[in-house]
Amino acid sequence: MNHNQQPGDGTHEDDAALSDFLASLMDYTPTIPDELVEHYLAKSGFQCPDVRLIRLVAVATQKFVAEVATDALQQCKARQAAVVKDKRDKQQKDKRLILTMEDLSRALREYGVNVKHQEYFADSPSTGMDPASRDE
Amino acid sequence: MKSKLRKEAKTQSSTTTTTTTTTATPSELSFAIARIAVSQICQSVGFKATQLSALETLTLVATKYLQAIAGSAASFTNSSNRTQSNLLDLTNALHDVVSLHSGGLSGGSILHRPTSTLLSTSGVLKDLANFVYFHDEIPFAKPIPRPDRTSSSGNSSPGTKKLDCSRGSNVPKWLPGFPNGNNGVDEIYPGKGKRKNGESLWEESVLVGSDLGWKNWNENGRKRVVGEGKVETGRGKVRFKMGSRSGVCRLENNKNNVNDKSNGIDEEEKILVYKRRRRRDDGGRLINL
């Protein structure tokens, strides 16, 4: 009997937690604006007047982007640490944290997205120069 | 020298194996807004700068992710015979998409159980709740002005422009408005009521009282004046029979039997009948004179 009653209390608490979470979404402003999310939702055939669900999609996307960016940041830091070990003095200016295609493609590969990019893509004049200078 | 050769070989191999990532060009404005939002997120994570190509790639992936969630939720909604999505559809969709990477499969199979609530079973919702709880909110850099729906702007479709207030709440927003039949010429489709030869349909000439010789004519010794756009007051019952002849709506007028011949006939035939009557009418007028 006691065993049966416990899940009932648990579901009640979880109900309150769920409604609390949904209510907190009303106050939380995601970085991805509601208008943008509504545009993409409407484009995909998702129809819902509830703002909280739209915010939930925005939060999910924001979380995904933040995770990918964090992974890319870790890749960037690891790469820089490996380089700095070899040549500490030369690469001081390289210490800035820059989101590069290399780190991003490695981070996205863990999420099932295979990004193929040109190694010498003319993004900026210094992009193609860095590996060459490292070779020599 | 050797290094140069190596470099050349490297570039050649890279050009042969690379493929472009952006296959489709997304719409400009939404993509620009998404790019700003993604760059804000990257800045909050700790990046100081970004390559333009990396930022665009991440933005594209983010928009695809959003659309994948939305499409999955919409398909869940449609498969349960609804048009409006709810939280369960969205949670199912999130489980579909999220389970691809972070192993968020916990509780995805028992979402539908009535005893279990969503937040306790769904690991994805728990993660999202933690994300909302522990991360500071970074509002978007600039408020986006919503397009004013009430003013007659060019971006809305012509059908939905005017009738938003008059239609009921049961009619979905994306349906075009009904054509306005009160005037002979539609406001929404201006070219619809006019024909090349200046002819018009029979019913329009009755309703509007157009100047095609309908104003004064005798029928059964009565003089009848069709007013300007006004229907006669003492009218009898008007019955509609649906689908009586090849799906054409048939109109029956009990009191004024003048229209019997033209009932339920196609538009072309109506015009023919109208022309015949007009000829007869002219003849009658000549006799009267």
Which regions in chain B score pLDDT beneath 50?
Answer: 1-24, 151-163, 184, 186, 209-221, 223-229, 247-262, 264, 284, 286-289
Measured distance CA(A47)–CA(B78) in Å, rounded: 11
H-run or E-run covering B252: strand B248-253
Tell if the CB–CB gap between B55 and A25 is shorter than 8 Å.
no
Which residues, 6 or more positions from B88, have their beta carbon under 8 angstroms from its beta carbon?
Answer: B76, B111, B112, B118
Q: Is residue A50 part of a domain?
A: yes
Give how far Cα A133 sits from Cα of A124, B1, B100, B166, Å: 15, 15, 39, 70
**Residue A127 CA to chain centroid, in angstroms?**
24
Output the pLDDT for position B5: 41
Do residues A44 and B70 make contact, with C-beta atoms less than 8 angstroms apart? yes
Q: Is residue A5 part of a domain?
A: no
Q: Is residue A2 part of a domain?
A: no
Tell if the CB–CB gap between B67 and A15 is shorter than 8 Å.
no
What's the half-sphere exposure (Cβ side, CA atoms, 13 Å) at B76? 20
Both tokens of B202, joined, read 């029979």
Residues of B in contact with A119 (CB under 8 A): 10-11, 14, 18
3-state DSSP assignment of residue B52: helix
Tell if the CB–CB gap between B70 and A43 is shorter than 8 Å.
yes
Q: Is residue A3 part of a domain?
A: no
- Cα of B172 to nearest chain A Cα, Å: 10
Which regions in chain A score pLDDT beneath 70?
Answer: 1-14, 84-94, 118-136
User: Residue A95 corresponds to which amino acid?
Assistant: K
Output the pLDDT for position B29: 87
- Residue with tokens 């929404």, as numbered in its chain: B188
Cβ burial, residue B210 (10 Å; 0-12/13-18/19+): middle
Tell if the CB–CB gap between B66 and A21 is shorter than 8 Å.
no
Measured distance CA(B200)–CA(B124) in Å, rounded: 63
Residues of A in contact with B96 (CB under 8 A): none
User: Residue B82 corresponds to which amino acid?
Assistant: R
H-run or E-run covering B218: strand B216-219
Q: What is the ipTM of this complex?
A: 0.79
Do residues B209 and B215 make contact, with C-beta atoms less than 8 angstroms apart? yes
- Cα of B30 to nearest chain A Cα, Å: 6
Q: Is residue A11 part of a domain?
A: no
**Residue A7 CA to chain centroid, in angstroms?**
35
Do residues B74 and B81 make contact, with C-beta atoms less than 8 angstroms apart? no
- Cα of A83 to nearest chain B Cα, Å: 18
Output the pLDDT for position A82: 82
Output the pLDDT for position B66: 93
Do residues B34 and A36 make contact, with C-beta atoms less than 8 angstroms apart? yes
Q: Is residue A10 part of a domain?
A: no
Other beta carbons less than 10 A from residue A129's beta carbon: 11
Measured distance CA(A23)–CA(A19) in Å, rounded: 6
Q: Where are the domains of chain B?
A: 29-134, 156-190, 202-288
CATH number reported for the structural domain that contains residue A38 in this entry? 1.10.20
Strands B216-219 and A98-99: unpaired
Domain at B29-134: CATH code: 1.10.20
Both tokens of B230, joined, read 């006004």
Measured distance CA(B87)–CA(B71) in Å, rounded: 14
Measured distance CA(B240)–CA(B264) in Å, rounded: 10
Tell me which residue of B126, B101, B100 sits closest to B111, measured CA to CA.
B126
Domain span including residue A114? 18-135
Tell me which residue of B181, B214, B211, B215 sits closest to B198, measured CA to CA.
B211
3-state DSSP assignment of residue A135: helix
How many domains are there within chain A? 1
Output the pLDDT for position B129: 87
Q: Is residue A131 part of a domain?
A: yes
Ramachandran quadrant class, B176 (left: phi over 0; alpha: psi -120 to 50; beta: rest):
beta
Q: Using the 8-state DSSP alphabet, how is residue B20 labeled?
A: -
Tell if the CB–CB gap between A101 and B54 is shorter than 8 Å.
yes
Which residues, 6 or more positions from B185, have their beta carbon under 8 angstroms from its beta carbon?
Answer: B192, B193, B194
Measured distance CA(B206)–CA(B204) in Å, rounded: 5
